[in-house]
């Protein structure tokens, strides 16, 4: 096991923040968010997981796909490719796993999404294993772990006075070579993370097809507000909307935008002419869970069994306590 002292890591982070684009968890008001960092003192070290997921790094809340400029006769299209290189530090395993799930849609689905691919190529993910399991965390129940290395380039694990590190990819090797002297570690291995993950049972053992017409979905959705918190904090929700909009202050210029969307919102599925195939709130909420646990594994041949990484953000943020763990438990109980 390689080991690096905390002071050395901080020094490296300071230099990296100075020279490159470093993103790390940072406390802003009451939130902890992945944010650009100017020096290591801005990094928040004591966190369960940032309040918003990492998907923003590759699939931003809004992005310009291209710009259209027209003058009387011609229309010119200007490509808008993300060029920025990023190093993201302090990534939790659940978020890295979420990125792997996004890859299935954006990269492995033909044709691959060039914007996503470019960002993925230009980004290095440095993980930090969890030392505390949050009240709403259940990664171990959906095939993850607090120290799951999948999707990461390099992973740190906190030990006394420093960090153990594990190189996981070529990009990680590059980072490793730029780090100050790592030594071999013979000390005490770190304890298992404190806390107990939430028990939800095995979602993959549920016969989802048989529950599609359950009255349960309608009852469950009675209290749903139809907001989009769950989808926007989720590391694997990947729906988007595309629209052309004029650019303010530039007559004749338009941009094609892609923005996050959520299947829970009322008009998500509405089609031309006004028909809405998912008119009832229950149908929309049901879709969210079917997408995670049934449609995703059915449509993508993936190492992950479900499109949920167990980060628990949706449980924590839902204003009316719609709890994914409760839903799974309910369906398992009904089957029994």
Residues in contact with another protein by CB under 8 A are: 23, 28-31, 33-36, 48, 51-52, 56-64, 82, 86, 119, 134-136, 198, 219, 222-223, 225-229, 232-233, 241, 243, 245, 247-250, 257, 259-260, 262, 265, 267, 280-281, 316-317, 319-321, 323, 325-326, 329
For residue 21, the minimal CB distance to another protein (Å) is: 9
CB-nearer residue toward another protein: 165 or 284: 284
Residues 176/182, Cβ–Cβ less than 8 Å: yes
**Which is nearer to another protein, 165 or 314 (by Cβ)?**
314
Identity of the residue, 92 or 294, whose beta carbon is nearer to another protein in the bound complex? 92
One DSSP character per residue, 57-124 reads GTS-SEEEEEEEEEETTEEEEEE------EEEEEE-HHHHHHHHHHHHHHTSSSSP-HHHHHHHHTEE
Q: Shortest Cβ distance from residue 166 to another protein (Å)?
A: 25
- Shortest gap between Cβ of 320 and another protein (angstroms)? 5
Q: What is each CA distance from 251 to 12, 62, 74, 94, 219, in whole angstroms?
A: 46, 21, 14, 44, 50
- Least separation, in Å, of the C-beta of 178 and another protein? 22
Report the C-alpha gap between 127 and 106 in whole angstroms: 22
Residue 146 backbone zone (phi > 0: left; psi -120 to 50: alpha; other: beta)? alpha
Burial of 15 per CB tally in 10 Å (0-12, 13-18, 19+): middle
Looking at the Cβ atoms of 166 and 329, the one nearer to another protein is: 329
Shortest distance (Å) from residue 255 CB to another protein: 9
Q: Which C-beta is closer to another protein: that of 79 or that of 222?
A: 222
């Amino acid at each position: 096991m390689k080991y690096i002292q905390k002071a050395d890591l901080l020094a490296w982070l300071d230099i990296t923040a100075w020279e490159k684009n470093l993103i790390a968890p940072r406390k802003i008001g009451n939130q902890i968010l992945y944010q650009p960092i100017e020096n290591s003192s801005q990094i928040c070290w004591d966190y369960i997981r940032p309040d918003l997921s990492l998907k923003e790094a590759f699939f931003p809340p809004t992005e310009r796909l291209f710009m259209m400029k027209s003058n009387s006769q011609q229309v010119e299209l200007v490509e808008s490719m993300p060029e920025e290189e990023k190093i993201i530090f302090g990534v939790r395993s659940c978020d890295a796993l979420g990125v792997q799930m996004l890859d299935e849609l954006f990269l492995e689905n033909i044709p691959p999404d060039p914007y996503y691919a470019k960002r993925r190529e230009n980004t290095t993910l440095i993980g930090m294993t969890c030392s505390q399991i949050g009240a709403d965390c259940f990664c171990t129940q959906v095939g993850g772990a607090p120290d799951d290395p999948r999707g990461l380039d390099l992973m740190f694990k906190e030990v006394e006075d420093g960090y153990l590190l594990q190189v996981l990819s070529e990009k990680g090797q590059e980072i490793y070579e730029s780090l100050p002297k790592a030594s071999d570690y013979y000390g005490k291995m770190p304890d298992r993370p404190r806390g107990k993950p939430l028990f939800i049972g095995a979602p993959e053992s549920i016969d989802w097809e048989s529950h599609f017409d359950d009255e349960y979905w309608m009852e469950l959705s009675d209290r749903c507000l139809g907001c989009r918190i769950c989808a926007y904090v989720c590391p694997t929700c990947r729906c988007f909307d595309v629209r052309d909009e004029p650019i303010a202050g530039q007559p004749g210029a338009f941009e094609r935008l892609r923005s996050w969307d959520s299947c829970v919102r009322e008009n998500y599925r509405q089609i031309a002419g006004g028909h809405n195939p998912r008119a009832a709130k229950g149908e929309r909420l049901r879709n969210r869970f079917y997408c995670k646990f049934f449609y995703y594994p059915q449509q993508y041949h993936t190492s992950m069994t479900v499109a949920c990484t167990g980060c628990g953000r949706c449980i924590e943020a839902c204003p009316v306590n719609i709890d994914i763990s409760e839903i799974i438990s309910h369906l398992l109980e009904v089957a029994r």
